[in-house]
Structure 1
């Protein structure tokens, strides 16, 4: 059965940390996912920028959802790397992940994280990760 946007949104709603951040999946397909987080004062660090951990969460979750679209819903992140390009200050974060390659048990995915500021999207981070299926024979 093909995963749906509604199913992905239900999974996101089952994650307490995602609820804390008010994260939303706005697009979900077999090889691309978009996740949005509204920026609030509580998500900022001492200089007024979005905390790097929030940006990292957005990238990791988007990577995992797109990997799960390829491998099935029982997946976890095996590893990922993130490059912070510029500080994020604005109204929302948008993480767009895409599938690079999927095998039987793992998927390599990439993600761009943008900050929405004054109706413009500005790239603030790039990430790449490996997502693995938890449904492997032991």
Structure 2
């Protein structure tokens, strides 16, 4: 993924992430921003679980979607924005851990459509455990009122 010059995507992502109420609500923080890759982490919170006490699938999907979309922000022009248009999540293991890490990576950059892949991990006493994977598609928006970045 070389040859892309898209301004200061780091500052842009930090500022955009700070305005996300959903990520603030779950206690998420950006822990890595690099070209084509973004990582988000947050601690376990009982308020984010389903009836069996494990991290809710909707929260896992939100973490993966956000990490993937911000990874896509690293390869678009500064006058563009993104919206998720599709994703598929596979739950692989129960979300049990003291922290969770969600990594999004650009698989196929494009001028209108960007494909990303994500992995979610539970972090606890032992090695990180893969709990979910995602493939997502984002649409690049330009000149759309209300979607300026």
Aligned partner (choices 41, 49, 73) of residue 46 of structure 2: 41
In the alignment, structure 1 segments of 5+ residues that lack a partner are: none
CA distance in 2, matches of 1:64, 1:98: 9
Map 1:61-80 → 2, pairs under 5 A: 61-72=66-77, 74-80=81-87
Secondary structure at the residue paired with 1:42?
A: helix
Q: Would you say 1:15 and 2:20 are equivalent positions?
A: yes
Aligned partner (choices 88, 94, 117) of residue 87 of structure 1: 94
User: 1:133 is matched with which residue?
Assistant: 140
Q: Aligned residues, how many?
A: 136
CA distance in 2, matches of 1:34, 1:17: 16
User: For the aligned residues, what is the CA RMSD?
Assistant: 1.5
Deviations 1:13-62 (A, max 9, x none): 10111110111111011211111111111111111100111101001101
User: 2:8 is matched with which residue?
Assistant: 2
Alignment check: 8 A CA contact 2:13 2:73 kept: no
| 6-15 vs 26-35, greater mean Cα deviation | 6-15
In the alignment, structure 2 segments of 5+ residues that lack a partner are: 1-6, 145-149
More helix by share: 1
- Please, what TM-score do these two structures have when normalized by structure 1? 0.92
- Please, what TM-score do these two structures have when normalized by structure 2? 0.85
